């Protein structure tokens, strides 16, 4: 039976992006300078608190990293706020991109939320699944996303998940990765 185009559910999608500078004699992924905005429009890291699925994703990724001898990632306020903002923006404005709707790059978004450290950075985005397990599996089965999750260059993570009822993919996920472990998320839920 053929499903009419207007009633088909879009397939889940994903994208990975790594920001790195090649340095002669250094590894292929090295520190990338983060340039803070001269006047960030928001720094909301202190208001970020991960939901149950975001915390479940943190457990999944850290268990996975342990299997490969990698240190656990710390969920931080700044990266969490940046990831949350990016997911909410995609869900509310119905788009799927590493560049936010207003033209802000994913890395500038991290800086705008207070992650202004000169360190390795990366971002994974996904859309279409509501659960941590589904999104983790989606990223695990993609070479670029998997590399970000397992990279020894990262010690910090932000995880954001958002729902947009009128958006194409409904659920949007963002994971931001950083080499420097700044203030941890301390809220309880």
Q: Tell me, what CATH number does 163's domain have?
A: 3.40.33.10
- Helix crossing, 143-150 with 52-67: angle to 10°? 80
Domain for residue 64, yes or no?
no
30-87 tens-digit pLDDT: 222 233 333 333 435 557 889 999 999 999 999 999 999 999 999 999 999 999 999 9
Domain of residue 94 covers 70-178
Separation CA 33–CA 77 (nearest Å): 20
Q: How far is CA 27 from CA 31, 33, 151, in A?
A: 10, 16, 12
44 within a domain of the structure (yes/no): no
The pLDDT value given to residue 61: 98
Let me know if residue 95 belongs to a domain: yes
Is 106 contained in some domain?
A: yes
pLDDT band of residue 184 (cuts 50, 70, 90) is confident
Strand partners, 184: 76
Between 157 and 26, name the one with better pLDDT. Answer: 157
Q: Answer whether residue 92 is part of any domain.
A: yes
Alpha helices in the chain (DSSP H): 52-67, 77-93, 106-112, 132-140, 143-150
| pLDDT tens digits for range 99-146 | 999 999 999 999 999 999 999 999 999 999 999 999 999 999 999 999
Asked if the structure places residue 151 within a domain, the reply is: yes
Give the whole-angstrom CA distance, residue 27 versus residue 38.
31
Instruction: Specify the number of domains making up the chain.
Output: 1
Let me know if residue 18 belongs to a domain: no
């Amino acid at each position: 039976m053929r499903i009419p185009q207007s009633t088909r559910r879009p397939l889940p999608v994903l994208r990975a992006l790594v920001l790195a500078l090649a340095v002669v004699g250094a590894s292929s992924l090295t520190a990338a300078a983060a340039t803070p905005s001269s006047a960030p429009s928001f720094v909301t890291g202190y208001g970020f608190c991960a939901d149950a699925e975001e915390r479940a994703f943190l457990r999944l990724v850290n268990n996975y990293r342990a299997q490969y001898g990698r240190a656990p990632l710390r969920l931080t306020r700044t990266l969490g706020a940046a990831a949350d903002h990016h997911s909410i923006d995609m869900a509310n404005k119905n788009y799927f991109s590493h560049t936010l709707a207003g033209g802000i790059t994913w890395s500038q978004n991290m800086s705008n939320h207070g992650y202004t450290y000169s360190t390795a950075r990366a971002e994974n985005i996904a859309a279409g699944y509501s659960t941590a397990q589904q999104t983790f599996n989606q990223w695990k089965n993609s070479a670029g996303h998997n590399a970000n999750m397992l990279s020894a260059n990262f010690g910090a993570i932000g995880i954001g998940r958002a729902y947009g009822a009128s958006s194409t993919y409904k659920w949007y996920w963002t994971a931001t990765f950083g080499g420097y472990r700044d203030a941890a998320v301390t809220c309880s839920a």
